[in-house]
Chain A
Amino acid sequence: MNPRPVVRVVALVAAVWLLAAVAWFVPDTWLDGRPPQLQSRADAIEIALDRLHAEAIKIAAAALNSFPPPLDASPANEILLQRLEGIGIVDADGAYLIWQGSPADPPGDFNETRGATSWIEKHGSVSRWIVRAGPDAEGWLSLASFTLRSQEHDGGLQALLPQPLFAGVDVVLRPGAEDDPGTVAEGTLVRTWQAEGRSSPVRLHLRSAPAGHRAGRVRGLLVAFAVLLTTLAVAFGLGWRSRVQTNAGIIQAVGAILALRLLISWTGAPQWLLAREASSASLFGVRDFGRLLASPADLLLTGLAFYLVAVALRRRLSTPAAQAGASARWVLIATSVGGAVLVGWLVLIVARNSRETLFDTGGDWTTDARLLVAAGLILALLGVASLVSLLLLRRTATDPSTLGALLPTTLCFSVLALATAFALQQRQEDAQLERMRVDLAPQVLEQSARRRLALQATIAEVQRAFADPSAAALSLDPAEWAFRYWIDSALAHGGYQSSLDFYDLNLQPLSHFGYDLPELDEDVGPWEELPADSAEIFVEPFRPVPSVRQQLLHVEAPLTRHGEPRGVVVAHVLDEPENLPFLPASRAYLAALGQHRDDPAGDIHYVVYDAQGTPLSSTLTSPPAETGEFRLAALSHKTVKFRAGDERLIGIALGERDRLHLLLVEDAAFLERLAGALRFLLTGLAILFVVALLPRLLRRGGLTLIDSALRGSFQRKLVAAMLVASVVPLIGLSLILRGYIETHAGHELDSSAVSFAGAAQKLLEDATAPLELPGERAEDAAASAPVEISDSFLLWLRRVVGQDVHVYERGRVVASSKRELFDAGVLPARLDGWVHRQVAIEGRPSLVSHQLLAGRELPVAYAPIRSVDPARQMIVAVPMVRAPGVIQREVRRVAEIILVATVLLAALLIVAATYLARTVARPLRSLAEATAQIAAGDYDTRLRAETRDEVADLVRGFNAMARSLKQQRTTLERRRDYIETLLQHATMGVLSIDSAGAIVTLNPTATELLSAAGAAVEVGADLAVAVESVDALAGLRAALRDGAAATGEPVEFDLENDTGPRRLRMVRVPLPGSAGRSVGTLILLDDVTELTRSNQLAAWAEMARAIAHEIKNPLTPIQLSAEHLRKLLTDRGVLPDDKIEACIETVIKQVRTLYEIAGDFSTYAKLPVLKPEPHDPAEFMRETMSPYRSSMPAGIELVETYDEVPKVAIDYRVLSRAVVNLIENAIQAMPDGGRLNISVSAPNGGFVEIGVDDNGVGLDPEVKRRLFEPYFSTKSSGTGLGLAIALRAIEAHQGTIEVDSAPGKGTRFRIRLPALRS
């Protein structure tokens, strides 16, 4: 990193820290900003309320123009349309003529004024805004109702206004014209808003927000930002990758990671930067270790720190130096074991301090903060896996920095992840059982006492509320009292089936609310018998339907305010075993009422047996028989496990004197546990991909690396292709299958709802139809009169159908088995307009619609009741409250099976693809390796066919090809060797040049010929350049340029070398290549010097013979004529005459000379036929030299040296003449005297050497070169044939003669004759 950016980053971080530090010391008021002006803010809120009111009126008025009204969303009405419950047209009596959605009932005074107006109403847990427009020309009015507060919507009227209006101000908007006493705090600005015309008044309470909160937030954010910047700077700015290669670096890295983690923990930065679910202990968290494990985000950061420390250690221990050292191995083992123990401990902490839903097999835990918890654990596991895998890599000597090293890490992690997931699930089951024993068992065993206590607490709470002068109890509508106090009572919080009733001073009922208990017709009081202080609890019988006998706990107490009696409160609670708050039966309705009782551990089932083992109550459809096993488990505190129908259950047994209780939960099947473990594993693998592979991919050239890794290996390519072709469709198929099953389950649920509605419809029609039997008596007819549809009847119907039932008349509920939901405002009293039209007006036999209940979408089936007057438009509705859970469980189970099957199949496909690819690729790799071996010259390489398929054919073909190649190679080598031998031994010079003129081939003769001339020729050299500057090769250059030579015509030229001029003949042959182009030239150089000389000698010999013949023929007549002339002249007496005699003598003498010349010519031309005989060369030379010993010219010293030498085969006479010739020449070369050395020796066994040496005048080089040429002589007399004849004689004896001479140095002849073998 460059120094300048480092300085900048450090400066930035320091600046933010400084800013954060300053923020801690400045007063809160500086950071809180100027407090808003309450008056102006109140004005703004009132204006916003006016606008909102106008928009709401506009929506309502639209219905008067056309129905259904065109409700186009705009920024001004968007929030209103989201809260719109329904809209409709009513007549002057308040009866809805047509409606859309489920609009609220018209207020009692809805028609008392004209013009637009609005009301804010509270009904049960729902408050709504009802807006009226009209009337129109026909006197109709339109009503629209908007939800202000409900289970689905919160915030009240305030939530409908622009939120910036409430910044820095505590604002309360409360319907009403007056405040409850004691509710207005000091410093509060109070106003009353009312729309123009007439509307419910709204009290505005405005108060400045608490001081210091904004300041705290600013400080927290600044510190968090500084921590974030510091972390980023340290993480990315210091080059840790290279730094951790040394001991000092690893200490720095680990220190930095731990310091940063502690800094983040100390400052609580995640709290300020992340969503609450991630940064709070809501899902997981403990404060036993500071903030290290305080939340999912903290766990993630701790896991990340652990992972980074492990990775840094791994890098350090992966260096070649560390790999070589023995101590590194022990460090690795120690850190791996230590890390594993630490992670195991972490897993236990997570399992112990998490919500049960953390790793619920059915939960989609990959979509929320649970993913952070999982990721924290996974990172810690990855850290351990990376250390443990390094041990494996050391054994296999794999480079840890390569991609291939990821495989052992992945395998180690997979094993650890699966083990962890199963351990977590086991801990979850243990936690469930512990919760049953610790939390639920007392609720079961002390259930009656607890119900009594809840009843007492409820009564006490109501009495206290009425007695409290600051309480707002009396400001409520008395009709709302029962719900208002029940919903916040110990009975409601306990989830008990219970009721609350209020009576006035005349003991007339004022208000009733019952949760799963109907309103009882009973007397209260008398007043004077009511206890003043503590309420007494009575047990009273209760028969919800005639066939069922149950008991209630009943308590009634007076209400007083300021010591004055105000009324009576009566509370009931069902005192039966099924009235336990944690049982699933009531959960949906409890949740709808705002008392969430969803148990994350799953549905708790409960069975209670009497002393005889008979089930008294059970949430199971078919409870198991009590065989004594459960009682034994209760005594020994052992877990019970059994199967009931399709469900596997696990739980505890609790024994009482006369009862036995079973608390049970669904026992996750192995398949479900496996699915949970696989989900954990898959998430882990995804994280592994992100932390280990993704950075490599994102690095420069990373994709190319992967691409080349894939392209570089046929096996990898094959695996990738097979995986894409198999796993991707598999995943797609499983997703489609899962979607199909979910859709199918939804349809099944709808069908089921229709069948339930059909059953309820038939029962209702049968019960409400007038029964007319022929001959029936009047009293019988009265007894069989149609049943009036009431809540009580629907309670009975619920028992028969198994689902709750509501009945609507003209679109409004008239009876329900769950009346409390309508009383509490949880369900709208008016049926949805579309459903009403479809069923009641358009005559659809049945319809399924979906309704929201406590955030859950339930299918509700509707059917008309046709046995009553059609004008009443009666409709029965059956909501499927219980079935969705069962179906969802089934769908979840199938989804788990699909997940497990998909993952296992995918794993199987991966293994199969890898094996198959290896099987296919291995022969190819062997082929490639074998091909490389053959290319390297190993022609004996053979492959073994391990299969019988096409690959075997390929292997056989390869082997045949290898054999053929070997044969061809052998043949080629033989030919090459032959040609090489030819070239090596050819007396002709052979060289070839390529088209560029470079020498390609050069045999020794050519090298010798050209090198001797001074040219530096070698293979690869440019021939033209090599001969360019060599004068001796001028002839060659000319010949190379000669166009005729290029056509193959022989060209002769002379070449000068050390031995004198040579005559060479050159032939240039173009070498044809492919496509008719010449690839070079073959040049043949033949030394024809000897041939030329031989030819010359032969010509000369022929000429000598002809001359001898032509000369000899006239000589005899001339000699005879001269002798005859001498005789005639003598006879005639002319003679003696000196002059004539001298003439005749000259003629005869010259003829004799001519005879001698002719004889020499003849001798030269025609060598005598040799008659060789073995002779001792020394003896031969002694005899030859014999005449000279006595007649050696004066001044010449004769020195003879004869060694013992082998005999030679010689023609004594012929060789003697040759030797004498040499001796004569030597004597003549020493006119002034000298020394003549004659020697015989045998320098080696094969030859005998005869030496004739003089130290005379010597020969100049030209003379020496031509010494043996015929007719060449330096003397004025003689034929010049002496040495030529001597040469021919010696060569005729298979011998050679060499001459070594220099001017003034004498001349030395050496005759070498082959020695005879002994």
Chain B
Amino acid sequence: MAKIISKAALLGLALLAAISYGAEPRETVDAFGAALVEGNADGLRAMLPSAGKVRVRLVRLGPQDGALRGGQLHAILQDFLERGSVQSFKLQMIEHSSKLALASAELGLIDAKGTRAKVRLHLSLELENDRWVLREIRESSQ
């Protein structure tokens, strides 16, 4: 029951964050983390850019290295969430200017091979039409 409540709270947080895009990049990062933990791939769509590409370097979450369209990155993350899971998302650092934000977070996950791992995600977000969108996502091991 507690698990369900906590998941519902995370989902609510994600939705709240999605509604209040443009306010602060931190909220976008939190919404991103919440969507990952919830396994809600569609929740990630709102923070993907509509133009240009996202620079990606993922190991456990991918693997993937390259510049991807938003839809492609969404498909990659959905692939992961179908076969693996994110247990925890902990924002560790976020610094931002008016147009750019850099953040790092720690993820606890079980990858597609069923192995537990802790990884760090480095996110780069940019302002696109008054909303913060992902421009770079890089994964490094702890």
Contacts and interface: CB of A to CB of B under 8 A. Distances in A.
B114 A209 contact: yes
Nearest to B75: A281
Interface string A437-456: 11100100010011011101
Contact of B79 (A280, A431, A601): A280
Contacts of B95: 453, 456-457, 460, 490
Contacts of A286: 69, 71-72, 74-75
Given A285-B76, A438-B49, A493-B122, A600 B66 contact: yes
A464 B93 contact: yes
B88 interface: no
Interface in B50-67: 51-53, 55, 57, 62-67
B138 interface: yes
Contacts of A355: 66-68, 72
Contacts of B51: 434, 438
A297 to B, nearest CB: 12
A408 to B, nearest CB: 37
Given A449-B97, A596-B65, A284 B72 contact: yes
Contacts of B131: none
A353 B71 contact: yes
Given A357-B66, A464-B92, A435 B52 contact: yes
Interface string B97-125: 10110101000001011111000101010
Contacts of B75: 280-281, 285-287, 294-295
A281 B76 contact: yes
A323 B125 CA distance: 60
A454 B138 CA distance: 14
B62 A214 contact: no
A353 B74 CA distance: 11
A271 B83 contact: yes
Contact of B104 (A216, A217, A456, A461): A461
Given A216-B83, A461-B92, A461-B93, A493 B136 contact: yes
A281 B63 CA distance: 10
B76 A439 contact: no
A348 to B, nearest CB: 12
A213 interface: yes
B6 interface: no
A434 B57 CA distance: 21
A210 interface: yes
B67 A600 contact: yes
Given A209-B115, A210-B110, A442-B99, A281 B72 contact: yes
B88 to A, nearest CB: 12
Contacts of B138: 493
A488 interface: yes
Given A271-B83, A282-B64, A353 B69 contact: yes
A460 B51 CA distance: 31
A512 interface: no
A565 to B, nearest CB: 21
Contacts of B116: 170, 207, 209-210
Please tell me the size bucket of the interface on A.
Answer: 35 or more
Interface residues of B, number: 47
Nearest to B118: A183
A558 interface: no
A284 B104 CA distance: 27
B135 interface: yes
Interface in A450-473: 450, 452-454, 456-457, 460-461, 464
A281 to B, nearest CB: 3
B82 to A, nearest CB: 7
A1183 interface: no
A1250 B101 CA distance: 146
Contacts of A490: 95, 102, 104, 122
Contacts of B29: none
Contact of A271 (B66, B74, B82): B82
Contacts of B114: 209-210, 213-214, 217
B66 A453 contact: no
A281 B78 CA distance: 9
A1249 interface: no
A280 B93 contact: no
A446 B100 contact: yes
A268 interface: yes
A446 B99 contact: yes
A449 B135 CA distance: 16
Given A282-B76, A439-B53, A464-B92, A453 B102 contact: yes
A33 to B, nearest CB: 12
A457 B25 CA distance: 14
B27 interface: no
Contacts of B76: 280-282, 285
B20 interface: no
A356 interface: yes
Contacts of A460: 93, 95
A115 B115 CA distance: 38
A48 B69 CA distance: 46
A977 interface: no
A354 B71 CA distance: 10
Contacts of A271: 79, 82-83
Nearest to B58: A282
A213 B87 CA distance: 14
B52 A439 contact: yes
Contacts of B104: 457, 461, 490
Interface in A555-601: 596, 598-601
Nearest to B52: A438
B41 interface: yes
Contact of B100 (A216, A357, A453, A488): A453
A213 B110 CA distance: 9
A832 B69 CA distance: 44
27 contacts: A209-B115, A213-B110, A280-B64, A280-B76, A281-B68, A281-B72, A286-B69, A286-B72, A287-B74, A288-B71, A294-B79, A352-B71, A354-B72, A435-B53, A438-B53, A439-B52, A446-B99, A449-B100, A450-B100, A456-B95, A457-B102, A460-B93, A460-B95, A464-B92, A488-B140, A490-B122, A493-B138
Interface of A: 170, 207, 209-210, 213-214, 216-217, 268, 271, 276, 280-282, 284-288, 294-295, 352-357, 431, 434-435, 437-439, 442, 446, 449-450, 452-454, 456-457, 460-461, 464, 488, 490, 493, 596, 598-601
Interface of B: 41, 49, 51-53, 55, 57, 62-69, 71-72, 74-76, 78-79, 82-83, 92-93, 95-97, 99-100, 102, 104, 110, 112-116, 120, 122, 124, 126, 135-136, 138, 140
- Which 10 pairs of residues, A with B, have the shortest CB-CB distance? A438-B52, A213-B114, A281-B75, A285-B75, A286-B71, A457-B95, A457-B102, A439-B52, A287-B75, A355-B66
Given A280-B75, A600-B67, 6 more contacts: A170-B115, A280-B79, A285-B76, A442-B100, A449-B99, A488-B122
